[in-house]
Structure 1
Amino acid sequence: MENSKIIRKNPAGVHSPVGNYTHLTKIPRNSELYVTSGQIGADQHGNIPDKMNEQIRNTFRNIQTVLHAEELSSEHIIKVNIWATEKIDWDFLYEKWAELFGLDYPAMTVGYISELGLPEIKIEIELWAAKV
């Protein structure tokens, strides 16, 4: 039944996405909504590496841990917000993105800003998820 699953689509009349995301994600009524705090590149001991790609690797590992804690997977993610303080290596990020999402992309927003919560944080990723 179409009303009992998350739907992702790119409506006619809108340009194709310029990255690995979907323009519109629709969740059915009575779904449980999950919102994460921004996940950062800290390792399990709280250490934040200097290099952006290491922070990206740790951030995606942290995302997986948070998702698994609530028995969520990429199919439940409806929206991703990414904030970065320096240029993102999109080839590297999309490699980690593909490991998480395959080709089933959620809606996404990316913003470059001057700083995040701590000066050493270079990237932060927030997730919205829904369980039908």
Structure 2
Amino acid sequence: MTNRAVIKTDKAPAAIGSYSQAVKVDNTVYLSGQIPLNPQSMEIVSSDFTEQARQVFSNLRAVCEAANGSLSHIVKLNLYLTDLSDFAAVNEVMAEFFEQPYPARAAVGVKELPKGALFEAEGVMVI
């Protein structure tokens, strides 16, 4: 693929495995999952779900901006929660970061996430 570019920023956590923060192909950016790591310390920001969700969306925003986009360019968002009772809280936090028209979205309950995170989000952005 000649139109493929890796997106990287130090304003979001470095990859903790064999993946890129995002990959851009033409005008589509595939955003890797972000967990609530502080980009400087690489530690989970808090045990509080709401604080974790805010950090996740802040990390996603940083990667979007590194790709010359914004959260408003996300067309598909996948959310992973270790406790689906946090579904209402994630909707409230999303309203702080996203405006209508909202992206298409899925919310999936999972047993666990890396580093003991309670929440992870990944998506696809078109710029």
TM-score calculated relative to the size of structure 1? 0.68
- Deviation sequence 1:33-89 (CA, Å, 0-9, x none): 111110111112111122211211111111111111111123311100001111353
Deviation beyond 2 Å, 4+ runs, structure 1: 87-96
Give 1:46's aligned residue: 42
Query: Please, which runs of 5 or more residues in structure 2 have no aligned partner?
Result: 1-24
Aligned partners of 1:52 and 1:88 also within 8 Å = no
Task: Determine which structure has greater relative contact order: mean sequence separation of CA pairs < 8 Å that are 6+ residues apart, divided by chain length.
Answer: 1
Aligned residues: 101
In structure 2, C-alpha distance between the alignment counterparts of 1:42 and 1:89, rounded to whole Å:
19
Read off the aligned partner of 1:127 and give its amino acid letter. G
Read off the aligned partner of 2:29 and give its amino acid letter. Y
Give 1:32's aligned residue: 27
TM-score calculated relative to the size of structure 2? 0.70
Q: RMSD across aligned C-alpha pairs, in angstroms?
A: 1.9
Give 1:114's aligned residue: 111
Greater strand content: 2
Query: Please, which runs of 5 or more residues in structure 1 have no aligned partner?
Result: 1-29
